[in-house]
């Protein structure tokens, strides 16, 4: 799956996902990717988030929505992502997944669980080129 979030030069925010889902899923199964708030979410007044991992679990917790709402309450992008991941882990300690979070001012962060670490790609003028960044999982 790819989950992508972006802010353009006019400050407009968008989010999206694309996936072929889980390997060897039961036919008809759909994961979190096409569900707003689960696979991705964007609110122009706050920011955006996109999640990846076990979609059967993630769709039960709407992590992208939760991360955006945490930012609305003043939480940093990194901590908002961590809170969204921790909410899932409370119920599913073996959960595998990650989230990238972007605030409307361009500040961003990421969090993960169940992986050795999580890599995501980012680009802005400050970085000058596409950069792969790594976060340790909670």
Among residues 46 and 83, whose Cβ is nearest to another protein?
46
The string over 15-51, giving b where at least 16 C-beta atoms fall within 10 Å of a residue's C-beta and e elsewhere, is bebebeeeeeeeeeeebbbebebbbbbbbeebbbbbb
Just list the catalytic residues: 1
The strand pair at 40-43 and 131-136 is best described as unpaired
Q: For the CB of residue 56, give the shortest distance to another protein in the complex, in Å.
A: 8
* Site pattern 25..44 for another protein (x: CB under 8 A): xxxxxxxxxxxx--xxxxxx
Tell me if 29 sits within 8 A of 5, measured CB to CB.
Answer: no
* Single residue of 100, 111, 135, 137 touching another protein by CB under 8 A: 100
Q: For the CB of residue 113, give the shortest distance to another protein in the complex, in Å.
A: 10
Interface of this chain with another protein, residues 54 to 83, rule: CB under 8 A? 54-58
Query: How remote is the C-alpha of 71 from its chain's centroid?
Result: 13
89 lies in the site for another protein, by CB under 8 A? no
What is the rounded distance in angstroms from the CA atom of residue 40 to the CA atom of residue 3? Answer: 7
* Single residue of 66, 80, 120, 138 touching another protein by CB under 8 A: 120
Q: For the CB of residue 74, give the shortest distance to another protein in the complex, in Å.
A: 18
């Amino acid at each position: 799956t790819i989950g992508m979030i972006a802010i353009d030069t006019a400050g407009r925010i968008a989010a999206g996902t694309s996936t072929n889902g889980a390997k060897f899923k039961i036919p008809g199964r759909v994961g979190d990717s096409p569900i707003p708030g689960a696979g991705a979410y964007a609110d122009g007044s706050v920011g955006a988030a996109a999640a990846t991992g076990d979609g059967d679990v993630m769709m039960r917790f709407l992590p992208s929505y939760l991360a955006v709402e945490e930012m609305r309450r003043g939480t940093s992008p990194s901590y908002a992502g961590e809170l969204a991941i921790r909410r899932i882990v409370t119920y599913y300690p073996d959960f595998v997944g990650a989230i990238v979070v972007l605030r409307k001012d361009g500040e961003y962060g990421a969090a993960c669980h169940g992986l050795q670490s999580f890599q995501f790609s980012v680009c802005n003028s400050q970085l000058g080129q596409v950069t792969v960044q790594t976060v340790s999982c909670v």
